Amino acid sequence: MTPRAAHPSDTGPLSREQMRTLLLTSLGGALELFDFVIFVFFVPVLALAFFPPGIPSWLAELQTFVVFAVGYFARPFGGVVIAHFGDRLGRKRTFAFTVTLMAGATLGMAVLPGYATIGMAAPLLLCGLRIVQGIAVGGEVAGGYLFGAEHVADARRGRACGFVASGMTCGVLLGVSVSALLHQVLSEPAIQAYGWRLPFALGGLLGFLALFLRRHLHETPVFAALQAAGGTAPALPIGEVLRAHPRAVAVSVGAFWSFIAHFVVLCLMGPTLLQTLFHLSAVEALTAGCLATGAFVVFAQVSGHLFDAIGQARALVLASLIALCADAAFFLGATARPDLAVPFFILAGAGGGMLGAASVVMIRAFPPRIAYSGVSLSLNLVSGIIAGATPVLISGVLPWLPSAPLWYLAAACLTATSVGLGLLHRARAH
């Protein structure tokens, strides 16, 4: 049975059924993101396991970040293909496929032999499994945001997007926590020998748990209504997106980059940056990463309420400026006072979380019949191409420009501010 569609102007609290749907959507997405991002928390160990010995450690880590980035670069392809079927056949059907693909690839990493055993085949196979992960998550994340938003009234979509962003980020929090725990209970030789395989095995098993949980989800009321009216997607939804909605894609990319930039730099690269820039130990950096990602999760929920309360344009401008101030406080403040690096880092995590509901701009930018394809293309241009290049870019220039992460985050925040001001001007003109 498909839930009743909420009236677009409904401003009441979310129903119990809607909260249950958002929770299951977010939980499944969190488990898939755990599978996808656990890689980055073991970059130094993976560099030793999968690349030739004797090369400089910074080069091995950079090569490992390149393999990490390959998964991001695969996301647009996977997102567009999976979204095609999501627009044509339904949102729910794609979920089982993406989670199965992700779980299988992650388990494959857990048992993959290293360079010492199979030579150059090891990094090549690792790269192949990252591509499969990228294809899976490319369809999953866009589908998660759309699935959650289409289950609530338009006036509450900010809250839904904030909830999904918060829930998915919990997958990263789980990844940081597992990494910190392993570094506390295992010695470095043990982690290098076998310990790094444990989180990948756990991730694969959690992926199949997500597949089990997806049994309880219903198709979205929006897609069910389209089916009933015979108004589902054209034969090639992505073609209509590119032909009729290029401006919507540009606006969506500009808005969502602000969120993804903070997600990658703070939640994913944060522990590594704390070790490199401020000389924290691995355990200290991972613990700080847990705290900052927790702040990110909490303030993504606050973001959803903000976007619903004052409108997406004003909220995007305000949240971007708050995030920029928090970023400057961390990178400049921690440079002056390294002993306060962790509190400043937590503040930056909270600021980044304030952009958690920015995805609602994408949801509203496209008509429902091609929404999955439009959202997936926009999201994966950011989460795939731009975010995929971010670790490589920042790691490459960091030795010569330690402030590179701040400049990058500032560019993303100012871009989102410009998008918000443009949306506000357009709304007033109409």
Q: What is the pLDDT along the chain (430 residues), one digit of tens a residue?
A: 444 445 445 556 777 888 888 888 887 778 777 877 787 778 778 878 887 777 666 666 677 777 767 777 788 888 889 998 888 888 878 877 888 888 899 899 999 998 888 988 988 898 899 889 888 888 888 888 998 898 899 999 999 999 999 988 898 888 878 888 888 898 888 998 889 899 999 988 888 887 887 777 788 888 888 888 877 777 888 999 999 999 999 999 999 999 999 999 998 888 889 988 888 887 888 889 889 999 999 999 999 999 999 999 999 999 999 999 999 999 999 988 988 999 999 999 999 999 999 999 999 999 988 999 999 999 988 887 787 788 778 888 888 898 999 999 999 999 999 999 999 988 887 7
pLDDT value for 161: 94
One-letter amino acid for residue 324 of the chain: L
Evaluate whether 155 touches 8 at the Cβ level (below 8 Å). Answer: yes
Q: Name the one residue in this structure whose structure tokens are 């355990």.
A: 283
Evaluate whether 370 touches 240 at the Cβ level (below 8 Å). Answer: yes
Evaluate whether 244 touches 370 at the Cβ level (below 8 Å). Answer: no
One-letter amino acid for residue 323 of the chain: A
pLDDT value for 66: 74
Evaluate whether 322 touches 259 at the Cβ level (below 8 Å). Answer: no
- SS3 call for 12: coil
Q: Name the one residue in this structure whose structure tokens are 């496209």.
A: 366
* CA-wise closest residue to 179 among 302, 310, 104, 284: 284
Statement: 16-429 belongs to CATH 1.20.1250.20: yes
pLDDT value for 4: 45
As to burial, measured by CB atoms within 10 angstroms (0-12 exposed, 13-18 middle, 19+ buried), residue 212 is exposed
Q: Where are the domains of the chain?
A: 16-429
Cα distances (Å, whole numbers) of residue 386 to 132, 167, 276, 383, 408: 19, 22, 23, 6, 11
For 150, what's the count of Cα atoms within 13 Å in the CB-facing half-sphere?
32
pLDDT value for 60: 67
What span, in angstroms and rounded, lies between the C-alpha atoms of 302 and 153?
18
What span, in angstroms and rounded, lies between the C-alpha atoms of 139 and 151?
18
* CA-wise closest residue to 422 among 268, 299, 277, 247: 247
pLDDT value for 416: 96
Q: Which residues contact 174 (CB under 8 A, 6 or more apart)?
A: 30, 34
